[in-house]
Amino acid sequence: MAVETTAPVDDRRWLLARLDGKYTPYLIIAPFFLVFGVFGLYPLLYTAWVSLHDWQLIDGDQGFVGLDNYAALVADANFWNALGNTLSLFVLSTVPQLPAALGLAAVLDRGLRGRMFWRAGVLLPNVISVAAVALVFAQLYGRDFGIVNYLLGLVGVDPVDWHTETWASHLAISSMVMWRWTGYNALIYLAAMQSVPKDMYEAAVIDGASKWRTFWAITVPGIRPTILFTVITSTIGGMQLFVEPQLFDPGGTATGTGGSDRQFQTLVMYLYEKGFRLFDAGYSATIAWVLFLVVLVIAGINFSVTRRIASKG
């Protein structure tokens, strides 16, 4: 960084110039770390502390138990079930979603008439209140009177019990997630596509390259950092899935366990059940910490895999 300015005239300007160069970066990023320190790090460490105790939600600390909670977690079949569900839902909802968002962004990037209209429309699912989303999807996936089963019946398929079957529930929830977030990711890609230098497209047009080829050879590598970014954020969001499956659960937050067999209970749902319904805050904190570590690992894996894929061109 070229930090030298013209020779300072007096001491104060000299001091300001020194400060300007050396400490400004730290000053600039300080707000983030301040907010994070108080509202992010503190809860994180506090939760770690809680996970080492037998801690009841209302009654508080009942005694230090070391790693007992973690040991119990490893032996807990419900935990592994929730982990499996989370991974399955994550794959089902993210793997189709990002390419779809990419395609959608490509379509939206063209010379369209009423551009703003289409772009706003695509973002709507993310804007609608979750209460409305829950209701609509309950109507869609009802067992006896749902719209999807009605349509299936038209082509001669037996009604599916969307809430009961494991695979059906995962499909239904993934569709909810995809419906909600594809437009969001599409707009992110679209914004990134605006930064791809136009002269590269000019060159491609001159070379007579097809739209498809242009897309893969120029656009995708051009927005590679953004793609990586969305992979990470989608991974984090996917592993922390809570809202959509909770809305899908007829028992809701009061009695729901992700289905009678916990067939669609995610890790965060399990965390919530243990902490806010059964009041076992210590165990809940343990789940939270393990989840955090799992997310770290999976995000890391996804990042390196995607980086390799998106780097051609």
Partner 1 sequence: MALDTAPPVVRPGRDLKHRKASAAGPLVYALLVVVLLASVFPLYFSFVVASKDNSVLGDAIPPLTPGGNLIENITRVFDTVDFSLAMMNSLIVAGTVAISNVLLGTLAGFAFARLRFRGRNSLFLIVIGTSMVPAQLGVVPLYLLMSDLDWYGTLQAVIVPALISAFSVFWMRQACEESVPYELIEAARVDGCSVSRTFWHVALPAVRPQAAVMGMFAFMTAWNDFFWPLIVLDPNDSPTVQVALSALASGYYTDYSLMLTGASLAVLPVVAIFILLSRQIVGGIMHGAVKG
Partner 2 sequence: MSRTLVGRAAVAVVAALAVTGVAACGGGTSGVDGGKIKLSIGVFSDFGYDSLIKEYQAAHPDIEVEQRKVKMEQHHTQLATQLAGGRGAADIVAIEEGNVAQFRQSKDKFVNLADYGAKDLKSQWAAWKWNQGTADDGAFVLGLGTDMGSLALCYRRDLFEAAGLPVDREEVGKLWPTWQDYAATAQTFTDSTPNVKFVDTALNVYKAILDQTEEGYFAKDDSYIADKNTKVSDAFKLAAALGEKKQTGALAPFSQEWNVALKQASFATTTCPAWALALIKAGAGDEAAGKWDVAAAPGGGGNWGGSFLAVPKQGAHPKQSYELAKWLTAPEQQKRIFKETGNLPSEPAAYQDPEVTATVNEFFNKAPVGQIFGNSAESLQPTYRGTKDSKVTPVFSNALARVEQGKQSTSDAFTQALKEAQDVAK
Q: Tell me which residues touch partner 2 (CB under 8 A).
A: 57-60, 135, 138-139, 142-145, 161, 164, 250-255, 257, 260-262, 276-279
- Binds 217, which of partner 1, partner 2, none (CB < 5 to 8 A, cut-off by type)? none
Q: How many CA atoms lie within 13 A of 183 on its CB side?
A: 14
- Binds 112, which of partner 1, partner 2, none (CB < 5 to 8 A, cut-off by type)? partner 1
The rounded distance, in Å, linking the Cα atoms of 53 and 68 is 8
Q: By C-beta, is 69 or 219 nearer to partner 2?
A: 69
Q: By C-beta, is 166 or 232 nearer to partner 1?
A: 232
Go through the chain and tell me how many residues it has.
313
- Residue 55 β-bridge partners: 61
In the window 214-273, what residues touch partner 1 (CB under 8 A)?
A: 225-226, 229, 232-233, 236, 240, 242-243, 268, 271-272
In the window 270-299, what residues touch partner 1 (CB under 8 A)?
A: 271-272, 275, 281, 285, 288-289, 291-292, 295-296, 299
Q: Is 9 in the site for partner 1 (CB under 8 A)?
A: no
Pick the binder of partner 1 from 7, 9, 10, 31 (CB under 8 A): 31
What does each C-alpha distance from 285 to 55, 84, 112, 279, 289 come to in angstroms? Answer: 9, 19, 50, 11, 6
Q: By C-beta, is 88 or 201 nearer to partner 1?
A: 201
What is the nearest approach in angstroms of partner 2 to the Cβ of residue 277? Answer: 8
The rounded distance, in Å, linking the Cα atoms of 184 and 119 is 10
The rounded distance, in Å, linking the Cα atoms of 47 and 53 is 10
What is the nearest approach in angstroms of partner 2 to the Cβ of residue 52? Answer: 18
Q: By C-beta, is 58 or 154 nearer to partner 2?
A: 58
The rounded distance, in Å, linking the Cα atoms of 173 and 94 is 12
Q: By C-beta, is 182 or 263 nearer to partner 1?
A: 182
The rounded distance, in Å, linking the Cα atoms of 271 and 19 is 46
Q: By C-beta, is 39 or 276 nearer to partner 2?
A: 276
Q: Residue 88, Cβ neighbours under 10 Å: how many? A: 17
In the window 168-187, what residues touch partner 1 (CB under 8 A)?
A: 179, 183-184, 187
The rounded distance, in Å, linking the Cα atoms of 163 and 250 is 8
Q: By C-beta, is 166 or 311 nearer to partner 1?
A: 311
Q: Which secondary-structure segment (H or E) carries 187?
A: helix 166-193
Q: Is 20 in the site for partner 1 (CB under 8 A)?
A: yes
258 by Cβ neighbours in 10 Å (0-12 / 13-18 / 19+) ranks as buried
What is the nearest approach in angstroms of partner 1 to the Cβ of residue 47? Answer: 5
